[in-house]
Amino acid sequence: MRTQVGIVGAGPAGLLLSHLLALHGIDSVVVDHRSREHIVARARAGVLEHGSARLLRAAGLGARMDREGIEHGGIYLQYDGVREHLDFRDLTGGRTVMVYAQTEVVKDLVEARQAAGARLEFEVADTRVDELDSRHPVLRYTAADGVRHEVVCDVIAGCDGFHGVCRPSIPDGVLRVFDRDYPYAWLGILAQVPPSTDELIYAYHPDGFALHSLRSPQVSRLYLQVDPDEQLSAWPDERIWEGLRRRFALDGWELADGLIFDRSITPMRSFVAEPMRYGRLFLAGDAAHIVPPTGAKGLNLAIADVTVLAEALVALLRDGRPELADAYSDECLRRVWRATHFSRWMTSMLHRAPGADAMREQLRLSQLRYTTASRAAATSLAENYVGYPPLRLDGLDLPGA
């Protein structure tokens, strides 16, 4: 079998790349070891940067997002008994973010790819990527029906996440890896209850961080900082709601509770592998980098990577120009490192560090006060949150741009 781009991973990065390439007449095969049902059901991130939402719209994927997504013009930062609003529209010249779950983005992408007759293979096994430093790397996998396939490609895109097979297929000594664990995790819930807030609340409390997000007018998404080795069984519903009520407590405001229908604990890490390319293998999204979720950057980095990659692959495979492909890694890593810094900064400002001394607590409070009181400091948070650097859409000729 033959394709131009073999794509490993049917998450947002892999599916969006396949879609953007198809808009430019470039053929791809997408494989994933998970089932379609699993991929569209996982509760994941929820915030699209300004540029990510524009890109999805320009690529013809924005119809349901614009109907069901909720545009937010800011966030609240809460600490020390106050809840301060940061107005992104005012601070960034009109930019906003879109609250629209990653799950929904993936659903829209799977539907669009399948409607276009794309080759999408779920539940594959024994995926391998070989001959990466040749002109024709090979993607091998066993399809759900047990048949082994060998696809000769011009390029392979590793969009298979942190635990995928692509990054470890790069020979030892090529990648430089940066890795940090955090002594925190997030316990996240989805609950059948209207959000108690109009915009996201990021709260620091001596008990630990809490985040009030949402999914729809009927569904709230909430998170609590917990220890990384915490078990879900230690958190019955009442303990979760009690923890959330304490951390969000504010005079004259109440947190409504409801049926919890999804829960999970997510560890946090910062990870970057450089460069994001080896020969004809290009890494994108979590396969190359992980950020802690406090900055809402993970999904947006994946979208930015494949926007840059699609433009580079169109130039390489359609026009025979390698310059953009050669610049891919450096171009992406500038944004990745900005997001890595921002996510780490937000995380350390908002989480209770085990064993933190009184001085560290005072410094944290001072940082929170400064960020909400100073227009310069608030602008810095806002421009990072809505997306920095702004995603360029003019490199790709898109139908709706």
Query: Hey, which residues are catalytic here?
Result: 72, 202, 293, 297, 385
Decide: is 340 part of the binding site for ligand PHB (CB under 6 A): no
Using Cβ positions, the residue closest to ligand PHB within the complex turns out to be: 46
Sheet holding 47-48, edge to edge: 47-48, 97-99, 70-72
CB of 8 to ligand PHB, least distance (A): 25
Nearer to ligand PHB, 6 or 11 (CB): 11
- Nearer of residues 23 and 271 to ligand PHB, judged by Cβ: 271
CA-based R_g, the chain, Å: 21
202-218 burial, b if ≥16 CB within 10 A, otherwise e?
bbbbeebbbbbbbbbee
Residue 168 DSSP symbol = G
Q: How near is the Cβ of 316 to ligand PHB at its closest, in Å?
A: 34
Minimum Å distance from CB 381 to ligand PHB? 12
Q: Which of 9, 12, 46, 158 binds ligand PHB (CB under 6 A)?
A: 46
With binding defined as CB under 6 A, does residue 329 bind ligand PHB? no
Q: Is 294 in the site for ligand PHB (CB under 6 A)?
A: yes
| Residue closer to ligand PHB (CB basis): 33 or 221 | 221
Termini Cα distance of the chain: 34
Interacting residue with ligand PHB among 18, 28, 213, 220 (CB under 6 A) = 213
> Which one-letter DSSP state was computed for residue 273?
E
Is residue 103 a contact point for ligand PHB (CB under 6 A)? no
Nearest to 195, CA basis, from 176, 210, 217, 177: 217
Q: Is 292 in the site for ligand PHB (CB under 6 A)?
A: no
Residues 6+ apart with CB under 8 A from 5: 17, 18, 21, 26, 27, 28, 29, 153, 154, 155, 156, 157, 313, 317
Q: What is the closest distance, in whole angstroms, from the C-beta atom of residue 102 to ligand PHB in the complex? A: 8
221 binds ligand PHB (CB under 6 A): yes
Which one among 120, 151, 189, 296 touches ligand PHB, defined by CB under 6 A?
Answer: 296
Q: Does 69 bind ligand PHB (CB under 6 A)?
A: no
Query: By CB under 6 A, what part of segment 164-203 binds ligand PHB?
Result: 200
* Cβ nearer to ligand PHB, comparing 155 with 201: 201
Nearer to ligand PHB, 109 or 296 (CB): 296
Identify which of residues 45 and 55 has a Cβ nearer to ligand PHB in the complex.
45
Which DSSP letter does residue 390 get? Answer: P
Total residues in contact with ligand PHB, by rule CB under 6 A: 9
Instruction: Based on the shown chain and the rule CB under 6 A, indicate whether residue 47 belongs to the binding site for ligand PHB.
Output: yes
- State whether residue 84 is helix, strand or coil: strand
Task: Report the residue number, 4 or 216, with the smaller CB distance to ligand PHB.
Answer: 216
Q: Does 45 bind ligand PHB (CB under 6 A)?
A: yes
Please report, to the nearest 10 degrees, the dihedral formed by the alpha carbons of residues 88, 89, 90, 93 taken in order. 110
Contact 333, 274 (CB under 8 A): yes
Shortest Å distance, C-beta 346 to ligand PHB:
8
Piece in contact with ligand PHB (CB under 6 A), picked from 17-25, 114-122, 290-298, 365-373: 290-298
How many other CB atoms are found less than 10 A from the CB of residue 182?
A: 18
Q: What is the DSSP letter of 13?
A: H
Q: How far apart are CA 199 and CA 195, in angstroms?
A: 9
- The set of residues, in sequence order, having a beta carbon less than 8 Å from that of 192 and lying 6+ positions away, is 218, 219, 258, 259, 261
Q: Is 185 helix (H, G, I), strand (E, B) or coil?
A: strand
Our CB check for ligand PHB shows the closer of 58 and 211 to be 211
The answer to whether the beta carbons of residues 1 and 28 sit under 8 Å apart is: no
Q: Using CA atoms, how far apart are residues 77 and 349, in angstroms rounded to an integer?
A: 11
Closest approach of ligand PHB to the CB of residue 168, in Å: 28
Q: Assess 293 for contact with ligand PHB (CB under 6 A).
A: yes
What is the nearest approach in angstroms of ligand PHB to the Cβ of residue 103?
10
Under the criterion CB under 6 A, does residue 212 sit at the interface with ligand PHB? Answer: no
The answer to whether the CB of 194 falls within 8 A of the CB of 256 is: yes
Binding site for ligand PHB (CB under 6 A): 45-47, 200, 213, 221, 293-294, 296
